[in-house]
């Protein structure tokens, strides 16, 4: 079985066991144009054009991996720690943290009932907001969520949730991304401000939604309605419409705040040994989201490059993909292809690739 999987005689989709689905969205961060949307598993469009192959269509409908679902626009999961730049923005703009304030992670966050723990049970020690992002410290962002929800000396969960929702909306996470195909509406968390600040609670987003969000981070505040349409021509090739992505809103934030968030995301990638040989500097945020104790965690990675002058974003989700390191390594392949750093034959080999292991509890 292992050999057959390695040779792709059996694919994850055919097995329909976790993980068997994934999606990638690539955007131009300076225009809001979608460069690519990829959904796995998929199907052969040729058999669905000019008359439907009935037997093939029946096989698709009966396929347990749901290949007719666009996993980029029609799959929602918790974003996990990819949400933390939203919480950082909320904390900075609401004044509950500064770029230099430090919060000391001791592992267990005991300020709320049923205390949650940082993924690092031993604690990270004292971190500022950049360090909180770099180490993806849950304790740091639990504390941000707690402070957002505190009025005077009283913790008020709904106040914290309202503030987080306000800043999620600024990044476009309150509605569909703008792409001109069917897309499921997002869900901003309405439960547990402390856990919502690390991307849990009831947060639920599509890959395209996360792509719009990281596009906004990359360009320091311009949130676009993403578009798949470049232009529309008639049958004679005459231009009917030259399309551009509309600006939804802009986030007005102190450049020092953006620098702190960008630096933290750059340091996330610098901590990953498998990015060391990449000849373009990438900034990103990992997310390992648990939604069921009976299935593996979701693997997510939002990113952009080059760090010094962002051009594109790459957002990857592997539902039930165990750990965010796997999503990040897939994104690395996209950057290598896009910037011509490897031949296509080196990236697409026709066999199952070997990914470097990641810690299952990594965030």
Note the pLDDT tens digit of each residue in 164-186: 999 999 999 999 999 999 999 99
**What residue spans of the chain are helical by DSSP H?**
2-6, 12-15, 54-62, 84-93, 129-134, 138-148, 157-170, 193-196, 207-218, 255-270, 324-338, 344-347
Confidence of residue 31 (pLDDT cuts 50, 70, 90): very high
Q: Averaged over 48-52, what is the pLDDT?
A: 83
Alpha-carbon distance of 36 to 26, in angstroms, equals 5
Q: Which residues of 54-82 are buried (b: 16+ CB within 10 A; e: fewer)?
A: eeeeeebeeeebbbebbbbbbbbbbbbbb
- pLDDT for 167: 98
How many beta carbons lie within 10 A of that of residue 254, not counting itself?
11
pLDDT at 51: 83
Instruction: Give, for 35, the enclosing helix (H) or strand (E).
Output: strand 34-40
Query: Residue 327 CB: number of other CB atoms within 10 A?
Result: 31
| pLDDT value at residue 14 | 77
Report the C-alpha gap between 103 and 91 in whole angstroms.
12
pLDDT at 350: 79
Give the per-residue pLDDT at 361: 52
Structure confidence at residue 355 as a pLDDT band (50, 70, 90): low
In the predicted structure, residue 119 carries a pLDDT above the cut 70: yes
Q: Does residue 246 surpass a pLDDT of 80? A: yes
Q: Residue 179's Cα: distance from chain center in Å?
A: 17
Sign of the dihedral defined by the CA atoms of residues 308, 211, 136, 71, in that order: negative
pLDDT for res 352: 75
Query: What is this structure's pTM?
Result: 0.94
Buried b (16+ CB within 10 A) or exposed e, 13-36: beeeebbbbbbbbbbbbebbbbbe
Residue 88 in this model has a pLDDT that exceeds 70: yes
Of 72, 30, 40, which Cα lies nearest the Cα of 304? 30
Query: Domains in the chain, start-ordered, CATH in brackets?
Result: 2-347 (3.40.710.10)
Q: What is the pLDDT of residues 9-18, one digit of tens each?
A: 887 777 778 8
Query: 358 falls in which pLDDT band (50, 70, 90)?
Result: low
Write down the mean pLDDT value for the chain. Answer: 93
pLDDT at 356 over 80: no
pLDDT higher than 80, residue 354: no
pLDDT band at 255 (very low <50, low <70, confident <90, very high): very high
């Amino acid at each position: 079985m292992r050999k057959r999987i390695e040779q792709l005689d059996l694919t994850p989709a055919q097995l329909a066991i976790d993980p068997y689905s994934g999606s990638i969205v690539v955007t131009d961060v300076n225009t809001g144009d979608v460069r690519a949307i990829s959904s796995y598993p998929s199907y052969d469009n040729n058999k669905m054009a000019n008359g439907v192959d009935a037997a093939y269509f029946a096989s698709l409908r009966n396929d347990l991996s749901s290949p007719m679902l666009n996993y980029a626009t029609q799959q929602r999961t918790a974003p996990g720690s990819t949400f933390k730049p939203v919480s950082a923005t909320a904390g900075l703009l609401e004044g509950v943290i500064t770029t230099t304030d430090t919060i000391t992670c001791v592992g267990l966050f005991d300020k709320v009932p049923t205390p949650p723990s940082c993924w690092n049970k031993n604690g990270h020690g004292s971190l500022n907001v950049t360090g909180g992002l770099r180490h993806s410290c849950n304790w740091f962002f639990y504390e941000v969520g707690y402070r957002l929800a505190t009025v005077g000396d009283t913790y008020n969960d709904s106040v914290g949730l309202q503030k987080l929702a306000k800043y999620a909306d600024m990044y476009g996470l309150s509605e569909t991304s703008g792409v001109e195909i069917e897309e499921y509406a997002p869900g901003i968390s309405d439960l547990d401000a402390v856990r919502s600040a690390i991307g849990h609670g009831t947060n639920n987003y599509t890959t395209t939604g996360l792509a719009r969000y990281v596009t906004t981070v990359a360009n320091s505040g311009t949130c676009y309605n993403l578009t798949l349409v470049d232009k529309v021509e008639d049958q004679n090739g005459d231009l009917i419409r030259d399309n551009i992505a509309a600006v939804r809103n802009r986030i007005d934030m102190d450049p020092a705040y953006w620098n702190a968030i960008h630096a933290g995301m750059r340091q996330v990638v610098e901590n990953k040994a498998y990015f060391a040989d990449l000849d373009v500097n990438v900034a990103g945020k990992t997310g390992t989201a648990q939604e069921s104790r009976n299935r593996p965690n979701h693997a997510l990675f939002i990113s952009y490059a080059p760090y010094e002058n962002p051009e594109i974003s790459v957002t990857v989700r592997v539902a039930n993909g165990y750990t965010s390191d796997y999503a990040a390594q897939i994104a690395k392949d996209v950057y290598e292809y896009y910037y011509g750093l490897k031949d296509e034959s080196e990236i697409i080999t026709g066999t199952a690739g070997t990914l470097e292991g990641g810690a299952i509890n990594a965030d």
